[in-house]
Structure 1
Amino acid sequence: MPSVAIIGRPNVGKSTLFNRLVGKRLALVDDRPGVTRDRREGDAELIGMPFRVIDTAGFEDEDPASLPGRMRVQTEAAVKECDVALFVIDARQGITPLDEEIARWLRALGKPIIVLANKCEGKGGESGLLEAYSLGFGEPLPFSAEHGEGLVGLFQALRPFVEGDALEEDTSSEDEDEEKSEEEIDLSPLQLAIVGRPNAGKSTLINRLIGVDRMITGPEAGITRDSIAIDWSWQGRPVRLIDTAGLRKKARVVDKMERLSVMDTFRTIDYAEVVVLLLDGTQGLEGQDLRIADRVLEEGRSLIIAINKWDMVENPSAFLQAIREGLNDGLAQVKGVPLITISALTGRGVDPLLKAAFETRKAWSRRVSTGQLNRWLTRAIAHHAPPAPGGKRIKLRYLTQIKTRPPTFVLFGTRVDQLPTSYERYLINSLRSDLDFGSVPIRLHFRSPENPFD
């Protein structure tokens, strides 16, 4: 699919334009400059014309070793790979020296450039629109990303560069609400999110997996702000990797931008299939790690825990045992969560991590026939019968699976509202162990038949 990169200096409205084109609030937007850091990609459609759009960080003239300098490297890579670039300027502020520097750099690349004079609503941007002619890229387009003005003009400008390639693409999509077969699930991209505390090595792990410095990394904590999705393949199997912002304790999150990043990470967890919780091997297991894991399980996502920086851990066997004990105490609702030691810097353990992710998704998507479930229920009751509160028996009659991802079951019986929590845990743990669901979250609901005389 043809790609369109959005470039410009900080705070000219690039992320607002990105959200307008993809039709969703994917990129974080704020009045302060420098919100976007890593480049973000999304599927856009403009008046029926599909293309791939890339949001980039604000172009700044800084030392390449600094964080703004590393951001600029990602922006340069995005523009070099795209088919056409949208050079966004702030029409209300006019052309600045940095705009002129960006224009010189773009001319040297030889890419097709379309100048978008943003914030042209009303009459406040007329002078800046006229100034944009001096950049030397032809007629600038008056536009308002905030209000959606100028979309027809943008469509006409992009059409010669985009439409020919876009028509060759198959834009048909499946109904995501329909439950897929086991074979379809195995062939579909694995939605794999990497979460954890700041500076645990999430972006470094993504870069190691894909073999390219796609994500900005460095010693500074909290570099990643947006959740960035990257399409990739492992041993011929498609994977959609999602890097996320680090999650600190709630009491420490006071900055508005960090709160938006946290909300973005939580949305990513909600839509992931498998979530890798990355621990920092130099710091061990902390309460915040357990809170993140609990959030993942509450949302019904599959969980894998990876201990990063394993090459820096002293006394590994004792350290690993301490982690296991902490997980058993802190995640009592799910036992046996896969625990894998890795080094994002060297690549140690990444293949076992991906193998575990695919196996976990398979269990998370598994459906068991009603007959097999009820044969299991008969054995489970024979092994451990439900209690009889007040001398009246609780009868469990029938079990069926109503959905997958996560596996969800309904158990019909009489007086099931009086079942103790301990017996519910017994049933769920037995389901996991006897029917090979592993450590994936299981939801079990209870229903009593309606009394016709009530």
Structure 2
Amino acid sequence: MFTLAIVGRPNVGKSTLFNRLVGKRLALVDDQPGVTRDLREGAARLGDLKFTVIDTAGLEEATDDSLQGRMRRLTERAVDMADAALFVIDARMGVTPSDQIFADILRRKGHPVLLAANKAEGRAGEAGMFEAYGLGLGDVIGLSAEHGEGMADLAAALRPLIEAKPEDPEEEAEADVEIDEDDLGEEADWAPTVRRPLKIAVVGRPNAGKSTLINQIIGDDRLLTGPEAGITRDSIALNFEWGGVPTRLFDTAGMRKRAKITEKLEKLSVSDGLRAVKFAEVIVILLDTDIPFEQQDLRIADLAEREGRAVVVAVNKWDLEENRQEKLAMLKEQFERLLPQLRGAPLVTVSAKTGRGMDRLQEAILRAHATWNRRIPTAALNRWLMGMLEQHPPPAPQGKRIKMRYITQVKTRPPGFVVMCSHPDLVPESYSRYLVNGLRVDFDMPGTPIRLHLRGQSDANPYKNKKRAEPSRLRKHLSGRKPD
């Protein structure tokens, strides 16, 4: 698949153009410069042209190990990976000294470079478009990413590059297979297979090491990391094969307490992360070994349980812990006490920096996912229900006897059950918890959310209040009664 990297200074409209090409609002967009920091890939389409587009961080002049320097190296890496680069400038600002420096860098890379002047609608951008010819990158494509102007000119410039790339035999063989669309609205760039990718979202507080953990799992420095808190802003989706299992990993922005979130951009980042939680299958809650189970961690875990996701708790930076046995015992005690709704969920110690515990983490994720998808036969459920009722019969509130007739599983992901009973509105919450805990223990479903619904089934005689029907004329005649 042909790959196009969108590059340029901060705030020239790269993410807006990316969203326009993929046809969805995937990348965060704000007036503040420097919103994008990581590389985001998406499946783009212009007319009959299909290709992969990469949104990159704004090019900075920094070359040291600062955050801006690391962002620049990640962007240059995207240019090296791509088949061509689309260099975007702001037509209203014209060509800046930074544009000239970056144009020279791109020219030396040796890759095909297309030059686009964004925000070129109206007369305000005419002068900037003419200036852009002085960069020596060929013809200038006038665009308005926000209003969709100039897309036909961009398609015309891309067509010869896409057609010139040799076709991949594997891609051609898979061309007729329908590509599954991701639940987040982003078209999946994973090669179509019979088995859908396992969707995993890594969530937690800022600076817990989420991006470092994902880089360690995929074996590549794909995400921007560093000592600064809050580096990640977008929810970035990465497709790869983890131990033979097709996997889609979501890196999310760190979630602070709501009272501390004041900036609009951080609100957008957290909202994007919450969206990933709602549509993932397994949630990995990453804790810091120095400050585990803070109030915000508990809120995130409670959100994952309410959304019905399989949950795995991972404690990071375990390589820095000295008293590991004592600390592990304390963590397990806190987990059971503070998160009773997730009792039995896997708790794994890892080190995102050294890679320790990655095998245990994958095993815990696969086990939690299998439990989340479990289906139990109705016959086994009803034998279990009879035993639970004999062991502890339901109460009789207000003197009304509650009869539980049968139970069946109505859904998976997470497991959901329906119990048919009389007076379901009178069943105490404590008795529902008794049944849920019994299901969790007896059918080996530790940690996974379980949904139990009680539905009414009346004991009344259905013919009690019905009037006796009048006999028909024929029956009256046969019985000797005189017809009316």
Q: TM-score, normalised by structure 1?
A: 0.93
| Mapped partners of 2:144, 2:181: distance in 1 | 33
SS in 2 for 1:129: helix
Q: Give, as a single letter, the amino acid of the residue that structure 2 aligns with 1:93.
A: M
Task: Work out the CA distance in 2 between the residues paired with 1:435 and 1:49.
Answer: 51
d(CA) in 1 for partners of 2:394, 2:356: 47
How do 1:19-418 residues align onto structure 2 when only pairs under 5 Å count? 19-162=19-162, 165=167, 168=172, 169-170=174-175, 172-174=178-180, 187-418=195-426
Shift of 1:22: 1.6
TM-score, normalising length: structure 2 = 0.88
Structure 1 position 432 matched with structure 2 position 416: no
Which is further off, 192-201 or 150-159?
Answer: 150-159
Does 10-19 or 186-195 show the bigger shift? 186-195
Alignment partners' CA distance in 2, 1:389 and 1:60:
70
1:2 to partner: Cα distance: 2.0
**Structure 1 residues 63, 175: CA separation in 2 closer, same or farther (over 3 Å shift)?**
closer
1:33 alignment partner AA: P
- How far residue 403 of structure 1 moved from its aligned partner, in angstroms, is 2.1
Residue 378 of structure 1, CA deviation:
2.4
Q: Residue type of the partner of 1:227?
A: S
Deviations 1:27-76 (A, max 9, x none): 11110111111111122222243221110000001132110000001101
Rg larger for: 2
Asked whether the equivalents of residues 92 and 124 of structure 1 are also in contact (C-alpha less than 8 Å), the reply is yes
Contact kept in structure 1, 2:63 and 2:72, CA below 8 Å: no
Partners of 1:176 and 1:250 lie apart in 2 by 28
Deviation at 1:174, TM superposition (A): 4.6
Post-superposition offset of 1:347: 0.7
Find the residue that maps to 2:298 and give its secondary structure.
Answer: helix
> 2:236–2:250: 8 Å Cα contact kept in structure 1?
yes
Distance 1:279 1:14, change over 3 A: same
Deviates more, 1:166-175 or 1:376-385: 166-175
Counting aligned pairs with the same residue, the percent is: 55
Residue 388 of structure 2 aligns to a residue in which SS?
helix
Letter in 2 for 1:115: L
Aligned to 1:181: none
Contact 1:117 1:128 in 2 (8 A): yes
Tell me, yes or no, if the aligned pair for 1:290 and 1:327 is still in contact at 8 Å. no
1:50–1:371 CA distance, 2 compared to 1 (3 A): farther
| Aligned partners of 1:40 and 1:54 also within 8 Å | yes
- CA contact 1:270–1:299 (8 Å) conserved in 2: yes
Deviation digits for residues 188-218 of structure 1 (CA, Å, limit 9, x no counterpart): 3221111111111111111111222111111
Q: CA deviation at 1:186?
A: 9.6
Report the aligned-residue RMSD. 2.2
Following superposition, the deviation at residue 395 of structure 1 comes to 1.5
Indicate if the aligned counterparts of 1:364 and 1:440 stay in contact, CA closer than 8 A. Answer: yes
Count of matched residue pairs: 448
Aligned equivalents of 2:258, 2:57: Cα separation in 1: 27
Q: CA deviation at 1:185?
A: 11
Cα 1:64–1:342 change in 2 (3 A) is same
- Does the 8 A contact of 2:234 with 2:252 survive in 1? yes
Q: Secondary structure at the match of 2:202?
A: strand
* Structure 2 unmatched ranges of 5 or more: 184-191, 467-484
Q: For each residue in 1:221-262, what CA deviation from the matched residue of structure 2 results, as whole angstroms up to 9, or x when unmatched?
A: 111111111112222212112111111111111111111111
1:280-306 per-residue CA deviation (whole Å, 9 max, x = no partner) reads 112232111111111111111111111
Corresponding residue for residue 421 of structure 1:
429
Report if aligned partners of 1:186, 1:362 keep a CA contact under 8 Å in 2. no
Contact residue 282 and residue 312 of structure 1 kept, 8 A: no
Q: Distance in 2 between matches of 1:368 and 1:44?
A: 42
1:1-35 deviations in Å (ceiling 9; x for gaps)? 22111100100001111111222221111101111
Match of 1:333, SS? helix
The structure-2 alpha-carbon separation of the partners of 1:409 and 1:158, relative to structure 1 and needing over 3 Å to count, comes to: farther
The amino acid across from 2:7 in the alignment is I
CA offsets 1:91-142 (integer angstroms, 9 cap, x no match): 1111111111111111111111111211112221111112222222221111
